């Protein structure tokens, strides 16, 4: 086959395979057998191997996954991905409808209603008919680039057809059908792995896997619900979805245009019952003004669009018997009571266990072993007991006595004043606490040692070699090879992962350490402010609360952590072992802001507050936590503190928007 013929054949195969994928996964109307499809795919793969210069990133062969990724880049959304206001009542819907009709003097509003699917929000960017980028919601202003993983979705067309815009964005939800979820869990049960909790968490976690080949094995689906483009070619939201479907994209077939609120309520009444027959989870309906011009007029609040609202269905309850109450120990030592239930079907899944949260909740419900109880799924995901059927309680029933000792290590439990949770204080020797801390330390957002999972963390703790995170860095090949079911390659992968984690930045080390109340964001702020582990360890209460968003509770927890000799010893070992215990200083870029003092307040569209602080310092300026007579500018974002605004106005301090601040760098 000459070069021209090969290129033509590759293009023809790609087009045919894309069409077959669309017919099978979107239309549910396959036109060839699986064997015929596989033969065409194999032929394309062979041609791509022979002629790699013509391989498209959107080739159908990418549905089985490409090369493993080093990580996910965080990217700013072109348009913020905002949340929706929620309601559970028709009264709120009436108010929503009346507000819009009154403001615009209209008798009825045309709405577009669509099911609210429980999955992971995604923003897809297409250029010239090809998928260019896929971003997760993230914090709404920026998300992770998961393009290579998104390409593996069979129901997602990466090469469009028809009269599509040159460039546009479309948003939707990636989710998993219950049958796919159950099949995945059955496979994990056969291999002795822990079962997944629910379809939504698996869908979200799958898209964050670093190996697209593994993502391709997950039964993920997608539905798209919002087209965003600069030309304003569509007058109605429903028209934009019809157009997207004509380009080959999968939109919600259950969506409906409703004329007036009475039709909206009829749609809600129908799906409140019909949702039980769906093969996936939905917890409500999103109601949007259908007219795009009216959407633009209504605009947005700081957090939500004024032209859309999510109606949440009342949670379905099940009636079953409480067989017993067990207790789980978390990595922080927190004790969580768990209701062991007679298995019962609830929203398409079998529920055997439900959280009872704490001793206060057990006392409030007066729930007792042997009771018949009512169970709901909080947020349609987590089962919880919401009441007791007292009519079925027998005279022999006795109040439940909460445990006084840790179920894992036998240590007496403590309960801090003003807190509902009991704790096991034996942090050094309680096995689930030790394993939980290691599992947290190696997690993706901490030290990212992917070769160690939950089971391996437990196994390492049980050997007695690992008592704290620093011990990981002294593991030897011989020790690992002495463990059951450990092969040479697995052992080396673990050691390589541990060694590579030494390059993770200080903020990740701090987050992974698991200091109480120090989450990912707080760890970043502490690392940026103090610059090194030694400086942070020496910080007093006043110095800690000077840090943006660090309150008294966090400050007290940090001081308590470093007051313990064992934690100071671990800090010293981290330094000796070569982990990153200092924040890398960024090079100075200019003196454009020299001599100026800035205060930052609120939320910004293009940068986080920490990023704005870095920009100020990199260009010679200073950042202060409070407004004073020495403040040159107050950089003001959405939701800024009213006290700072009042003081700035009183002192005559100049207010800058984000764009006005950035303009200073060009002057």
Residue whose C-alpha is closest to residue 149's, from 205, 213, 224: 213
555: its two tokens:
């400050």
Rounded to whole angstroms, the Cα distance separating 129 from 165 reads 8
Rounded to whole angstroms, the Cα distance separating 282 from 252 reads 12
Burial class of residue 448 (count of CB atoms within 10 Å of its CB; 0-12, 13-18, 19+):
middle
CB 67 within 8 A of CB 127: no
Count of C-beta atoms within a 10 Å radius of residue 360 = 13
Rounded to whole angstroms, the Cα distance separating 524 from 545 reads 15
CB 386 within 8 A of CB 392: no
Count of C-beta atoms within a 10 Å radius of residue 522 = 21
- 569-598 per-residue burial string, b: 16 or more CB within 10 A, e: under 16: ebbebbeeeebbbebeeeeeeeebbeebbb
Residue whose C-alpha is closest to residue 168's, from 142, 131, 121: 131
Phi-psi region of 43 (alpha: psi -120 to 50; beta: other; left: phi over 0): alpha
Query: CA dist 209 to 89, 119, 133, 145, 147, Å?
Result: 38, 16, 17, 12, 12
Q: Catalytic annotation on 116?
A: yes
CA angle 104, 105, 108 (to 5 degrees): 95
339: three-class secondary structure by DSSP: strand
350: its two tokens:
């079998």
Q: Which one of the listed residues 63, 78, 116, 235 is annotated catalytic?
A: 116
CA angle 632, 637, 639 (to 5 degrees): 125
Helices (H), 34-116: 34-50, 90-104
Residue whose C-alpha is closest to residue 610's, from 540, 507, 518, 503: 507
Burial class of residue 345 (count of CB atoms within 10 Å of its CB; 0-12, 13-18, 19+):
exposed
* Positions marked catalytic: 116
């Amino acid at each position: 086959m000459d070069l021209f013929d090969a290129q033509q054949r590759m293009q023809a195969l790609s087009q045919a395979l894309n069409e077959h994928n669309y017919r099978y996964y979107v239309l549910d109307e396959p036109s060839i057998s699986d064997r015929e499809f596989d033969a065409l795919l194999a032929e394309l793969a062979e041609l791509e191997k022979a002629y790699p210069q013509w391989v498209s990133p959107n080739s159908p062969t990418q549905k089985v996954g490409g090369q493993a990724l080093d990580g996910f880049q965080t990217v700013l959304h072109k348009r913020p991905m905002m949340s929706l206001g929620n309601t559970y009542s028709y009264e709120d819907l009436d108010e929503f409808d009346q507000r819009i009709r009154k403001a615009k003097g209209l008798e009825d509003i045309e709405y577009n209603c669509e099911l609210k699917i429980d999955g992971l929000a995604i923003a897809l960017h297409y250029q010239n008919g090809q998928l260019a980028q896929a971003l997760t919601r993230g914090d709404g202003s920026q998300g992770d680039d998961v393009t290579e993983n998104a390409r593996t979705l069979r129901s997602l067309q990466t090469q469009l057809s028809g009269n599509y815009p040159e460039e546009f964005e479309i948003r939707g939800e990636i989710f998993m059908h219950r049958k796919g979820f159950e099949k995945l869990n059955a496979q994990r049960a056969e291999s002795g792995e822990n079962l997944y909790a629910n379809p939504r968490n698996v869908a979200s976690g799958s898209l964050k896997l670093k190996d697209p080949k593994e993502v391709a094995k997950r039964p993920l689906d997608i539905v798209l619900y919002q087209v965003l483009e600069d030309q304003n070619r569509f007058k109605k939201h429903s028209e934009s979805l019809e157009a997207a479907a004509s380009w080959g994209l999968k939109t919600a077939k259950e969506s409906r245009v409703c004329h007036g609120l009475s039709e909206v309520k009829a749609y809600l009444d129908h799906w409140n019952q019909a949702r039980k027959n769906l093969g996936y989870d939905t917890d409500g309906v999103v109601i949007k003004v259908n007219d795009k011009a009216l959407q633009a007029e209504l605009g947005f609040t700081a957090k939500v669009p004024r032209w859309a609202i999510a109606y949440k269905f009342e949670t379905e309850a099940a009636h079953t018997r409480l067989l017993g109450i067990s207790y789980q120990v978390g990595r922080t030592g927190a004790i969580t009571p768990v209701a062991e239930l007679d298995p019962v079907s609830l929203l398409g899944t079998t529920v055997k266990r439900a959280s009872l949260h704490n001793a206060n909740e057990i006392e409030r419900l007066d729930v007792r072993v042997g009771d018949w109880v009512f169970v709901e799924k909080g947020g349609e995901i987590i089962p919880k007991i919401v009441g007791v059927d007292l009519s079925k309680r027998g005279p022999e029933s006795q109040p439940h006595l909460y445990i006084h000792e840790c179920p894992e290590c036998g240590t007496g439990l403590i309960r801090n004043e003003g807190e509902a949770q009991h704790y096991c204080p034996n942090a050094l020797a309680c096995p689930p606490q030790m394993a939980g801390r290691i599992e947290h330390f190696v997690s993706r957002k901490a030290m990212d040692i992917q070769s160690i999972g939950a089971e391996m963390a437990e196994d390492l703790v049980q050997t007695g070699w690992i008592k704290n995170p620093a011990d990981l860095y002294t593991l030897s090949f011989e020790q690992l090879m002495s463990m059951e079911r450990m092969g040479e390659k697995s052992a080396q992968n673990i050691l390589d992962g541990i060694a590579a984690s030494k390059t993770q930045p200080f903020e990740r080390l701090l987050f992974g350490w698991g200091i109480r109340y120090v989450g990912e964001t707080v760890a970043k702020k502490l690392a940026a402010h103090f610059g090194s582990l030694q400086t942070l360890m020496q910080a007093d209460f006043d110095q800690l609360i000077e840090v943006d968003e660090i309150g008294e509770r966090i400050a007290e927890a940090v001081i308590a952590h470093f007051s313990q000799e064992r934690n100071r010893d671990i800090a010293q070992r981290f330094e000796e072992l070569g982990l990153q215990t200092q924040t890398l200083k960024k090079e100075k870029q200019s003196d454009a802001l020299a001599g100026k003092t800035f205060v930052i307040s609120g939320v910004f569209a293009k940068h986080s507050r920490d990023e704005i602080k870095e920009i100020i310092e990199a260009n010679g300026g200073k950042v202060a936590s409070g407004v004073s007579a020495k403040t040159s500018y107050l950089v003001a974002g959405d939701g800024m503190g009213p006290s700072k605004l009042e003081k700035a106005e009183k002192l005559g301090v100049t207010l800058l928007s984000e764009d006005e601040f950035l303009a200073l760098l060009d002057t």
